[in-house]
């Protein structure tokens, strides 16, 4: 899929990876870029910069996601590409309270369900469309210091795989982005253990996504070493768990 002349929505578009995507899509000649975010002021500022549209949307609320999609269709026509990018991280292991588990589940997983459900019938009817989920390397490997982030990002990867299997041969381009640490608000305190392999700029992630869309590729790995780590995991799961335990003992002894 080429982004030129397309109608594109990016959730979590006001900051970090989403903002870099919005700028790159605008540079690549998208017809309309919709910056959708709960941070509406940030969305307005970026939309003014790239001549796009700003929409306030809390992706944890299905009615907000449906309204974002229907409003955009009414104003701009069918949505060609939807990047379900908004996400949060919560520090902590299993002790994190249920209300917080519910919140991260809704933002990191259900938001993708809400948007795919609202978009896919139209895309399938037209025989074309793109649906991108920003998951994380934590969804393929793990995030030692956040149980809820690890679980929800694994769910997001599984969801993206299932969409690609079911719709990828019916004109829908499904891609999933799985970076390690990227410079953004989320990593403003340094990125922690995810940053052991260095912090990438968000623009790199956006460039890698555009390349993957052009090639019709599912998996976007801005940190190429993630492929090797995943191969180690698949080859010997027991050894991989022991290696991760050593990493925890060395870098997060207080956990």
Ligand X SMILES: NC(=O)c1ccc[n+]([C@@H]2O[C@H](COP(=O)([O-])OP(=O)(O)OC[C@H]3O[C@@H](n4cnc5c(N)ncnc54)[C@H](O)[C@@H]3O)[C@@H](O)[C@H]2O)c1
Q: What residues numbered 97-116 form the site for ligand X, per CB under 6 A?
A: 107
Q: Can 82 be counted among the known catalytic residues?
A: no
**Nearest residue (CB) to ligand X, 15 versus 175:** 15
**Nearest residue (CB) to ligand X, 48 versus 239:** 48
x/- site string to ligand X, residues 4 to 43, per CB under 6 A? -------xx-xxxxx------------------xxx--x-
Distance CA 76, CA 52 (A): 11
| Secondary-structure breakdown of the chain: helix, strand, coil percentages, each rounded to the nearest 5 | 55, 15, 30
Distance CA 79, CA 8 (A): 6
Q: Let me know how long the chain is.
A: 255
Task: Please tell me whether residue 60 binds ligand X under the rule CB under 6 A.
Answer: yes
Question: Could you give the maximum distance between any two Cα atoms of the chain, in Å?
Answer: 54
The one catalytic residue among 82, 114, 149, 167:
149
Task: Please tell me whether residue 221 binds ligand X under the rule CB under 6 A.
Answer: no
**Nearest residue (CB) to ligand X, 50 versus 60:** 60
> How open is the CA angle 162-127-58, to the nearest 5 degrees?
60
* Tokens read off for 144: 């030692």
* Tokens read off for 33: 């870029």
**Nearest residue (CB) to ligand X, 42 versus 129:** 42
Task: Please tell me whether residue 206 binds ligand X under the rule CB under 6 A.
Answer: no
Q: Are 51 and 44 in contact (CB under 8 A)?
A: no
Q: Which residues are catalytic?
A: 149
| Residues found near ligand X in the complex (CB under 6 A) | 11-12, 14-18, 37-39, 42, 57-60, 85-88, 107, 134, 136, 179, 181-182, 184-187, 191, 194
């Amino acid at each position: 899929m080429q982004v030129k002349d397309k109608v594109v929505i990016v959730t979590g578009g006001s900051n970090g990876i989403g903002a870099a995507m919005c700028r790159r899509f605008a540079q690549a000649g998208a017809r309309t870029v919709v910056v959708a975010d709960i941070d509406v002021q940030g969305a307005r500022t970026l939309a003014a910069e790239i001549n796009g549209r700003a929409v306030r949307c809390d992706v944890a609320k299905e009615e907000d996601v449906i309204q974002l999609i229907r409003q955009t269709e009414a104003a701009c026509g069918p949505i060609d590409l939807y990047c379900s990018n908004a996400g949060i991280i919560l520090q902590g292991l299993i002790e994190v309270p249920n209300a917080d588990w519910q919140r991260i589940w809704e933002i990191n997983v259900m938001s993708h369900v809400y948007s795919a459900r609202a978009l896919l019938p139209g895309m399938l009817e037209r025989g074309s469309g793109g649906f991108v989920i920003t998951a994380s390397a934590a969804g393929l490997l793990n995030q030692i210091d956040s149980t809820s982030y690890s679980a929800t990002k694994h769910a997001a990867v599984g969801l993206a795989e299932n969409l690609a299997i079911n719709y990828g041969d019916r004109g829908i381009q499904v891609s999933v982005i799985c970076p390690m640490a990227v410079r953004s608000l989320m990593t403003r305190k340094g990125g922690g253990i995810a940053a052991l392999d260095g912090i990438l700029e968000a623009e790199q992630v956006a460039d890698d996504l555009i390349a993957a869309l052009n090639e019709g590729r599912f998996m976007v790995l801005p940190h190429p070493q993630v492929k090797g780590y995943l191969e180690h995991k698949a080859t010997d799961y027991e050894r991989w768990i022991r290696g991760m335990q050593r990493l925890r003992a060395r870098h997060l002894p207080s956990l």
